[in-house]
Amino acid sequence: MNDAELSAEARPGRLEQGVEVIRTALKTLPQTPGVYRMLSGKGEALYVGKARSLRARVANYTHLAGLSNRLRRMVAETAAVEVVLTHTEVEALLLESNLIKTLRPRYNVLLRDDKSFPFIHLTGDHDFPQLVKHRGARNAPGQYYGPFASAGSVNRTIVALQKAFLLRSCSDSVFSARTRPCLLYQIKRCSAPCVGRIAREDYARLVAEAQRFLEGGTNEVQRRLAAQMQEAAERLDFETAALLRDRIRALTHVQGHQDINVEGVGDADVVAAHQAGGHTCIQVFFFRGGQNWGNRAYFPSHDKQLDVEEVLSSFIGQFYSDKPPPRCLLLSHELPEAALLAEALSVSAGRRVELVVPRRGDKAKLVEHALINAREALARRLAESETQQKLLEGVAAAFGLEAPPERIEVYDNSHIQGTNPVGAMIVAGPEGFRKSAYRKFNMREAAGGDDFAMMREMLGRRFARQLKEDPDRDSGNWPDLVLIDGGEAQLTAARAVLDELGLEDIPVVAIAKGPDRDAGRERFFLPGRPPLGFEPRDPVLYFLQRLRDEAHRFAIGSHRARRTKAIGVSPLDEVPGIGAKRKKALLHHFGSARGVSRAGLADLEAVPGISRAVAKKVYDHFHPEG
């Protein structure tokens, strides 16, 4: 992009204003480490950076000739500069990574990662520890092993560990209530400690073996089990020998699903970046205890002019801002501030963390393998993006839009005979579905059986709030196209809501099933136009069907979640003074909440633990007229 192509914000007048704002801020900036934020006129963070010397670093932005077009646009939009002083540059780097992830400034490299990693948790607050998958904060007692790249990889590992070490996976409440072994004991995936089929000492040995295996002692554990199997066979104890054989097979199964394993790699992440077409893919492989626990691809958002080293450096800072780094990161590229980044990660982890770019040997082969995966993933991503763009162009042509839509919002609702009505909104764009932007609407006023009223309430709440939060409509959260599930009547209801809010310029299209509700014969309703249809095999039709089906899936899922939650609510919860213990006593005595509501005062007083005063409260709650 040359100067003539710069946006309006970066024209000379705006550039001069931005430079003047920065020069004014320089007068009070110290020559000490810290973090600076460039803010827009609305107070939004445009860019977050760290510096060893705040004054020297920020002064660079006043020399326009040395700035990229990206940074010149940022300067043109800058209306204020805020700084936070830190004691060291390491502290500044840690703070910078956290602020970028929290504020998501437009001109920084942004890591789109809203999913936590699964771990295996071996609990530590019970005589018979539980083996379970865990996400989120690791505050509960016990040991955590991970991260695993996906839920699938951790689930496979847990099943194999159950077969190998026979550790329980049931919750403590289920454990304490068991009176006989469950099915997992019958299929040899649990040792049934809940009913005393294994002594505490023997179970503790199984736990120790599992810990050793998860910490990398795979060969040692397998050798020990093989020796025990041989001894059992020599004693002619073939049942024990067969059980040990099955455990060894389960451990072999775990290793067989790990694809690649390298001697000498204990706890390490392999991080490799490939750049093409102004886009970057970063592959992260997780090795713990010498075992490969999967990999995941990331596509950070960044300016196309940034070098791969700068993108990779920023990615690492953000990636480990909320998760502990391993002892070693094997990287594909030398980073410009590798020593500073390693020191920052070491401070965050509370132990030494190394950044290594291997040049030869098995570790270099690991990095090369990750690079190949990154290259292939980026090629697939670019191909999908090109296809997605063609589909969006087809949508624009079919519906008469001025340009391919950057943001499509699709609305649907779900209920069963009017109960627990829920509306749902999904969002799609050039990069596919934006699941972080999905929203559900628990209906407050509309009756569940009235689909038109539900649509009106959902759209009214969505766009009234958007108008309040962004009256100037420049946040990027406004749709270029609204799709609703329904026919001409739903279209009329939706159009009326938007027109009432003064949003006449937002295109709305209703998608209805065709005759006999056949997929492929859908009709599309637009204001002032006859219904539109597509050829049955038209790719644009398939794309629109996918949008409609995703909204339907999300609406049904939200409805089921609300219904499940409602099932767990008892009318007794609304009675003042009735806690869990008394509620349990009443339900045990009468069998159901309905039985309690129909009981007489004398019957309520007869329940153990229910005093006359409490019985009167319960009776008055269900018989207010008496």
Q: Mean pLDDT by 10-residue block, N- to C-terminus, for the chain (626 residues)? A: 43 81 92 94 92 93 87 92 93 92 90 76 90 85 84 80 85 86 87 91 88 72 74 76 73 54 74 90 87 86 88 92 88 93 91 92 90 91 85 92 93 68 88 88 70 86 89 83 90 91 91 67 87 84 89 80 58 74 79 78 85 85 70
CATH 3.40.50.720 is held by the domain 3-103: no
Q: What are the residue boundaries of the structural domains of the chain, listed by start?
A: 3-103, 119-256, 268-379, 408-566, 571-622
Check the CA dihedral 201-207-211-212 and report its sign: positive
Q: What is the pLDDT of residue 446?
A: 63
Residue with tokens 């090629």: 379
Rounded to a whole number of angstroms, the distance between the first and last alpha carbons of the chain is 80
Q: Alpha helices, DSSP H only, in 404-538?
A: 451-469, 488-500
Q: What is the pLDDT of residue 315?
A: 93
Contact between residue 141 and residue 124 where contact means Cβ atoms under 8 Å apart: yes
Q: What is the pLDDT of residue 271?
A: 95
Q: What is the pLDDT of residue 1?
A: 40
Q: What is the CATH number of domain 571-622?
A: 1.10.150.20
Specify the CATH number for 408-566; select among 3.40.50.10480, 3.30.930.10, 3.30.420.340, 3.40.190.10.
3.30.420.340
Separation CA 349–CA 339 (nearest Å): 15
Q: What is the pLDDT of residue 432?
A: 86
Contact between residue 176 and residue 195 where contact means Cβ atoms under 8 Å apart: no
Q: What is the pLDDT of residue 609?
A: 83
- The helix (H) or strand (E) run that includes residue 583 is helix 580-590
Q: What is the pLDDT of residue 7?
A: 46
262 burial via Cβ count (<10 Å: 0-12, 13-18, 19+) = middle
For residue 530, cis peptide bond before it (omega within 30 degrees of 0): no
Q: How many Å separate Cα 287 from the centre of its chain?
A: 22
Separation CA 508–CA 296 (nearest Å): 37
Fold match between domain 408-566 and domain 571-622: no
Beta-carbon contacts of residue 97 (< 8 Å; ≥ 6 apart): 317, 318, 320, 321, 344
Q: What is the largest CA-CA distance in the chain?
A: 92
Q: Give which of 312, 354, 361, 304 is closest to 333, Cα–Cα.
A: 312
215 burial via Cβ count (<10 Å: 0-12, 13-18, 19+) = middle
SS3 content of the chain, % helix, strand, coil (to 5): 50, 15, 35
**Would you identify the CATH topology of the domain 268-379?**
Nucleotidyltransferase; domain 5 (3.30.420)
